[in-house]
Amino acid sequence: MNNQFCKYDLSKEILESLTILNYTVPTKIQEQVLPEALSGRDVVGRSQTGSGKTAAFAIPLCEEAIWEENTPTALVLEPTRELTMQTKQELYLIGRKKRLKVPDLIGGFPIEKQIQSLKQKSHIVVGTPGRILDHILRGTLSFDALKSVVIDEADLMLDMGFFEDVKKILDTLKKTPRIMLFSATIEEPIKRMIEQYLKNPVFIAIEDTLEEQNHIRQEIYEVEEEDKEEESNSKYKMFLHVLAKENPDSCMIFCGTKEMVNVLCRKLRRDGVKAGMIHGDIDQQDRIRTVEGFREGRFRYLIATDVVARGIDFDRLSHVFNYDFPTGRETYVHRIGRTGRNGETGTAISFVTSADQKMKRMVETYVGYELPINIYQQGTAEEEKPFWDRQKEKVVLKKKKGEAFQQTIMKLTISGGKKSKMRAVDIVGTICSIDGILAEDIGAIDVRDSITYVEILNGKGDKVLNALQVKTIKGKIRKVRKTR
């Protein structure tokens, strides 16, 4: 197999999943974390969004998981629901060939449903600290088989006041697990947590290098402070014309405050530009929907604050706009690092007011070069036409991550269920008697009252479907069809 992950001596299932996901070359953080994490060592990691950090811990956790085990071998703590969903997806896809179950436990969702799902097998649990603690205290989550804990985005966890819950969770564990902690910064309380809970951890830091920023065209526009719409050179008008001239395929637009995100989104929509927004005051469900919509390409421009966008991964952003200039020099580097990834080119455009000049100079000292000033020239109607035409185009949805997996899975509906005493073993028995079909080709089996669903993996769906037209299950030929 021509996959560089081969060198880590991973199981066949995990390697196959990585290949389907098109992960063939480890990223820098993966290069450093994987050998240590796979050997069971505690890890402290510093790296940015987009570095492949999630897979760096997800691969060892999936490798370590044992399908036969009924209670989780790993727990991943995340500060937000969006990050929980994103990490769950990565674990689910990497563990797909091992058929790992990865329940998410997050606040704001019905706890009863989560309790029901925990009664079934679960291999890796991902969630926010408050809800995880709630389950532990209710006795609905057993960590008897737990081997590893991941504390992701620890500094954000600290900022959001979740640290006490994280400690309480760690204190409830009977055996000390292996811990992997990831954080953008290591403040004093994080340092103390590392000293108290981690055993001889290896410290791994991956910084964004200047070399990587070479792929990013950076420009700034100097603007007036206030935003008076009537003025043709107001910040908003200038931004809109620059946006139209650039006509980005997809971009993130950063604002300094939630209010500004609201205002900018409202203005863009009013002017006929399809944009989405996320910030801390937006309902969680709406945020998740917006993030998904942006990933699917339902709209091209996502307006966000730094905090809420933290850790959320978006593929192939052609542009980043700093509508409001960042208030920290690292923030500038993190924001622009969202474009121009994997050797692709990207564009980062910043609007700088006189109040931002000091921070601009600090950024320049930090990155070691001057940010080129662009003299604003409004584009002609002809130049802006492609942008405005685009706003009227019908949306073509992008392929979802993991779609390659879906293409290899076929779900079958079989007549007969609990009422006729059908059990999962009956289905497995018959399907495994088909020539060329192994137990590992069978995915989830769901026996309902008078119907049963079964997933056939590895592109063998048609073969099983045909064979089951003439083979008996529990003594009878059943009606079997593809589930719609």
| Measured distance CA(410)–CA(463) in Å, rounded | 10
Comparing CB distances to ligand AMP, the nearer of 26 and 129 is: 26
Q: For the sheet with 251-254, list strands across it.
A: 216-222, 346-352, 319-322, 251-254, 301-304, 275-278
Q: Is 477 helix (H, G, I), strand (E, B) or coil?
A: strand
Beta-sheet pairing, 472-473 with 442-447: unpaired
Comparing CB distances to ligand AMP, the nearer of 32 and 49 is: 49
Among 14, 15, 27, 334, binds ligand AMP (CB under 6 A): 27
Alpha helix segments (H runs only) across 108-187? 111-119, 129-138, 154-159, 163-172
Among 13, 14, 26, 43, binds ligand AMP (CB under 6 A): 26
Nearest distance, CB of residue 457 and ligand AMP, angstroms: 21
Comparing CB distances to ligand AMP, the nearer of 90 and 356 is: 90
Closest CA to 160 of 183, 136, 194: 183
Residue type, 229: E
| Measured distance CA(103)–CA(65) in Å, rounded | 14
Nearest distance, CB of residue 127 and ligand AMP, angstroms: 18
Comparing CB distances to ligand AMP, the nearer of 80 and 350 is: 80
Among 8, 32, 50, 323, binds ligand AMP (CB under 6 A): 50
Comparing CB distances to ligand AMP, the nearer of 65 and 91 is: 91
Stretch that binds ligand AMP, among 22-30, 168-176, 284-292, 297-305 (CB under 6 A): 22-30
Q: Contact between 49 and ligand AMP (CB under 6 A)?
A: yes
Helix axes 235-246, 381-392, angle to 10 degrees: 80
Among 46, 53, 295, 478, binds ligand AMP (CB under 6 A): 53
Comparing CB distances to ligand AMP, the nearer of 182 and 236 is: 182
Comparing CB distances to ligand AMP, the nearer of 26 and 340 is: 26
- Rounded to 5 degrees, φ, ψ at 251 are -150, 160
Place of tokens 């059943």: 478
| Number of amino acids touching ligand AMP (CB under 6 A) | 14
Contact 201, 194 (CB under 8 A): yes
Q: How many helices (H) and strands (E) does the chain have?
A: 20, 19
- Rounded to 5 degrees, φ, ψ at 416 are 105, 135
Among 51, 80, 183, 250, binds ligand AMP (CB under 6 A): 51
Comparing CB distances to ligand AMP, the nearer of 53 and 101 is: 53
| Measured distance CA(131)–CA(134) in Å, rounded | 5
Q: Any bridge partners for residue 348, and if so which? A: 218, 320
Nearest distance, CB of residue 85 and ligand AMP, angstroms: 12
Q: Contact between 250 and ligand AMP (CB under 6 A)?
A: no
Nearest distance, CB of residue 313 and ligand AMP, angstroms: 4
Contact 375, 66 (CB under 8 A): no
Q: What is the DSSP letter of 256?
A: S
Residue type, 280: G
Q: Contact between 55 and ligand AMP (CB under 6 A)?
A: yes
Contact 326, 359 (CB under 8 A): yes
Comparing CB distances to ligand AMP, the nearer of 19 and 117 is: 19
Nearest distance, CB of residue 150 and ligand AMP, angstroms: 12
Stretch that binds ligand AMP, among 20-28, 118-126, 221-229, 432-440 (CB under 6 A): 20-28
Q: Contact between 54 and ligand AMP (CB under 6 A)?
A: yes
Q: Is 456 helix (H, G, I), strand (E, B) or coil?
A: strand
Stretch that binds ligand AMP, among 53-61, 153-161, 270-278, 429-437 (CB under 6 A): 53-61
Q: Which long-range contacts (CB under 8 A, 24 or more apart) does 342-347 make?
A: 343/215, 344/215, 344/316, 345/215, 345/216, 345/217, 346/215, 346/216, 346/217, 346/317, 346/318, 346/319, 346/320, 347/216, 347/217, 347/218, 347/219, 347/246, 347/248, 347/318, 347/319, 347/320
| Measured distance CA(351)–CA(321) in Å, rounded | 8
Region 289-318 residues binding ligand AMP, contact defined as CB under 6 A: 313, 315
Comparing CB distances to ligand AMP, the nearer of 59 and 169 is: 59
Stretch that binds ligand AMP, among 51-59, 97-105, 123-131, 351-359 (CB under 6 A): 51-59
Among 10, 14, 23, 239, binds ligand AMP (CB under 6 A): 23
Nearest distance, CB of residue 47 and ligand AMP, angstroms: 7
Stretch that binds ligand AMP, among 43-51, 102-110, 197-205, 258-266 (CB under 6 A): 43-51
Residues at the contact surface with ligand AMP, assessed by CB under 6 A: 23, 25-27, 30, 49-55, 313, 315
